[in-house]
Structure 1
Amino acid sequence: MEKRATIKDVAVAAGVGVATVSRVLSGGSASPATRERVLAVAAQLDYRPSALGRNLRQRRTGGMGLLVPDLTDTFYGQLAEGVLACARSAGEPVVLGSTGGDPEQEADMIGMLLEQSVDRLIAVPSGDAETWVPAIRAGMTVVFADRFPVEPSPEPPAGPTAGPAAGPVHEGSGAASVSDLMALDGIAPAPQARPLDAASQARPLDVPAVVADDRAGIRTAVRYLRGLGHKRIAFLGGPGHDRRAAAFREAVGAPVDEELVVFGTGSRDSAYAAASGLFQSRPDLSAVVAGGNVLGEAAVLAARELDLRVPKDVSLVMYDDVPWAELCSPPLTVIAQPGRDMGYRAAELVLRTGGRKQRGVVLPTELIIRGSCGPRR
């Protein structure tokens, strides 16, 4: 029996990516020449797009997908545990994939999940909104976790990425005000504050998300460091940390010293290079807020290599509470976010059926004070 052509076969024969084939076959954007070439190859290979689209609309095959940037990252492991726990209780299988934080790889994996008729997907997105259009148009139920897709802007963004179309539900006694959460999600600026991202006013995706209250967490950490007398505080970020960087800029106030806002590209080597470069180029800084546990690890290693004592020479706050943070010498002060709960809640959202639109959820963060911060001498 002759093997049926797959979406990957069409992509290879047409000389394009799986995501491009997915967009063309689902009616998404593509140049006329690309669209014509893809459709011609699909016809030549007798590829039936029903597996891509109509199967999703007409029947439920079961199972959900989970895409994260890095399975070795402790936080994403916690998030995955929450998703798997909820899926087990519902009797749902889970297809787990790592995108490596690469938008192209993410787009390819979305195409393959569509090909396999996976009809529910939880993702920590790496690509922009356009990457997710084929999945939404094909009828896949999508929930974002931890962050949102990058929103393209004609000007360099000064704030976080776009938020969910539906208003978030905030939980926890330490919650920010409703206006704060609206600002966090790009719906409107907080009173007497500039918008966190003007581009976030136009949102093409109608997708709920489960995120932590980055703004409140970063703001609390900066206030704590300011209370210890620190004036030159740096932010060390990575991919997907635009919202946290925007919250940091807002917390330190104008004028922001942009030399103290530094980004790595995502790998551990890049994070170490960013931390080391920051310490060497700005010996006057006295405190660092690391935007994630990989960056916190890099900051600890770089400080050790440069003979900087924590907290005597530099204080350190890390976003994410991971097991090794308490084992450091000194133990790290952290902004804890509920990774496992985030995954569980995202799975609950994606499993809910019916016509009612689901609302996003904002989970509280907590500043856990340990020994890595001290008064500015």
Structure 2
Amino acid sequence: MKRTTIKDVAEAAGVGVATVSRVLSGGSASPETRERVLAVAAHLDYRPSALGRNLRQQRTGGIGLLVPDLTDTLYGRLAEGVLACARSAGEPVVVGSTGDDPEQEAELIGMLLEQSVDRVIAVPSGDAEVWGPAMRAGMTVVFVGEQPEQEPGDDDPLDELLLLDGVRSAPRPDSAIPTVLADDRSGVRTAVQYLKGLGHRRIAYLGGPGHPRRVAAFRQALGPLADEDLIVFAGGSRDSAYAAASSLLQSHRDVTALLAGGNPLGEAAVLASRELGLRIPGDLSLVMYDDVPWAELCSPPLTVIAQPGQDLGYRAAELVLRAGARRPRGVLLPTELIVRGSCGPRP
């Protein structure tokens, strides 16, 4: 007979997986919701093996790794770093793809809890509430590559990082989840300064979900030259990225340089430029955040902001394996501007 899962309880109770996890781990919920979830769980004979105190008592080891897209080259390199570190520690790794969707992310967290996995490395979707049940259940969590959105007025925990052992780090207060990031702000600033040095003034930014630090760095680096009409965001799909790039380049013919905030966005910018008959770099200089194999094979090869994907994963695994030790609040790894043939002087 198939064992009842947390997803079965959520569907029967008409709530999300995150809500079921929150109720069963003693978190906040309305009296009506709590009563309904508990009644359904009892009716279905659901036995949460790893919630609350049972998580510590029944620990089986292992590391959960949650990324938005397993086909993305960056996340593949990140996973390689996690696997290399986990292998050296003799720990198995359970990998899941969230699709950058908070509901799917919550479901995977629930599954990891059921499987008694108590260490998780995640590229978070951006919804901090999804992680409440995991934290209340005693999971050790490390974020990598991204941070959930903060409430307005919250300090950025990486604003006060100090250089230590080749990376920047800061003490971690008990309430904060350690985060391993690439220094995207420095990378974006360097790229914009490079384009300005080539004479470009109408510089556009093509972004996707997340990465608010990159957008903020872009605006700051451009200063008075920043034009909000030239800062465009796409959804998470490749079709959305292509549509956004094509619309931007068609409606703003005076744009002479474009910074793409990720490799799917860079791919979309290259395709849209070709469709519109724009020469790179004759008509449009292009910089892409993240170095991937095809970037060097383009004609011309793309100038990129390279981030150390494998090192990001390795450092995140090191942090999550430091059970009981005082871990830094954040680790910031350097980025590098690699100049290739996709940028030239302003036409």
SS at structure 2 position matched to 1:51? coil
Residue 60 (structure 2) aligns with: 61
SS at structure 1 position matched to 2:217? helix
1:1-377 superposed matches below 5 A: 4-153=3-152, 163-164=156-157, 168=161, 170=163, 206-254=176-224, 256-377=226-347
**1:32, distance to aligned residue in structure 2 (A):** 2.6
Q: Distance in 1 between matches of 2:156 and 2:70?
A: 24
SS at structure 1 position matched to 2:277? coil
SS at structure 2 position matched to 1:356? coil
Quick check: 1:83–1:347 contact (8 Å CA) kept in 2? Answer: yes
Instruction: Report the number of matched residues.
Output: 346
**1:9, distance to aligned residue in structure 2 (A):** 2.4
Q: Distance in 2 between matches of 1:322 and 1:95?
A: 25
Letter in 2 for 1:132: W
Residue 200 (structure 1) aligns with: none
Residue 189 (structure 1) aligns with: none
Letter in 1 for 2:231: V
SS at structure 2 position matched to 1:254? helix
For structure 2, the 5+ residue unaligned runs are none
| 1:301–1:166 distance in 2 versus 1, CA, 3 Å | closer
Q: Distance in 1 between matches of 2:276 and 2:222?
A: 26
| 1:172–1:348 distance in 2 versus 1, CA, 3 Å | closer
Q: Distance in 1 between matches of 2:229 and 2:165?
A: 34
Q: Deviations over 1:19-76 (max 9, x none)?
A: 1100111222323321221122223333334522222223421111101101111111
Quick check: 1:81–1:343 contact (8 Å CA) kept in 2? Answer: yes
SS at structure 2 position matched to 1:300? helix
Letter in 1 for 2:147: F
Q: Distance in 2 between matches of 1:105 and 1:24?
A: 18
Q: Distance in 2 between matches of 1:171 and 1:323?
A: 31
Q: Distance in 2 between matches of 1:210 and 1:75?
A: 14
Quick check: 1:210–1:345 contact (8 Å CA) kept in 2? Answer: yes
**1:376, distance to aligned residue in structure 2 (A):** 0.6
Query: TM-score under structure 1 normalisation?
Result: 0.86
Quick check: 2:192–2:222 contact (8 Å CA) kept in 1? Answer: yes
| 1:320–1:108 distance in 2 versus 1, CA, 3 Å | same
**1:355, distance to aligned residue in structure 2 (A):** 4.3
Q: Deviations over 1:85-112 (max 9, x none)?
A: 1111111111111111111111111111
**1:152, distance to aligned residue in structure 2 (A):** 4.9
Q: Distance in 2 between matches of 1:255 and 1:33?
A: 54
SS at structure 2 position matched to 1:142? strand
**1:147, distance to aligned residue in structure 2 (A):** 0.7
Letter in 1 for 2:112: L
| 1:295–1:63 distance in 2 versus 1, CA, 3 Å | same
Quick check: 2:49–2:114 contact (8 Å CA) kept in 1? Answer: no
Quick check: 1:166–1:360 contact (8 Å CA) kept in 2? Answer: no
SS at structure 2 position matched to 1:334? strand
Quick check: 1:164–1:208 contact (8 Å CA) kept in 2? Answer: no
SS at structure 1 position matched to 2:224? coil
Quick check: 2:118–2:139 contact (8 Å CA) kept in 1? Answer: yes
Runs of 4 or more above 6 Å deviation:
none
| 1:323–1:210 distance in 2 versus 1, CA, 3 Å | same
SS at structure 1 position matched to 2:116? coil
Q: Distance in 2 between matches of 1:26 and 1:147?
A: 26
Letter in 2 for 1:21: V
Quick check: 1:170–1:361 contact (8 Å CA) kept in 2? Answer: no
SS at structure 2 position matched to 1:360? strand
Identity level (%): 74
Letter in 2 for 1:272: Y
| 1:12–1:204 distance in 2 versus 1, CA, 3 Å | farther
Which stretch has the larger CA shift, 135-144 or 354-363? 354-363
Q: Distance in 1 between matches of 2:156 and 2:117?
A: 25
Q: For the aligned residues, what is the CA RMSD?
A: 2.4
| 1:166–1:302 distance in 2 versus 1, CA, 3 Å | closer
Quick check: 2:202–2:225 contact (8 Å CA) kept in 1? Answer: no
Quick check: 1:222–1:251 contact (8 Å CA) kept in 2? Answer: yes
Letter in 1 for 2:136: R
Q: Distance in 1 between matches of 2:197 and 2:165?
A: 24
Q: Distance in 1 between matches of 2:19 and 2:198?
A: 52
SS at structure 1 position matched to 2:189? helix
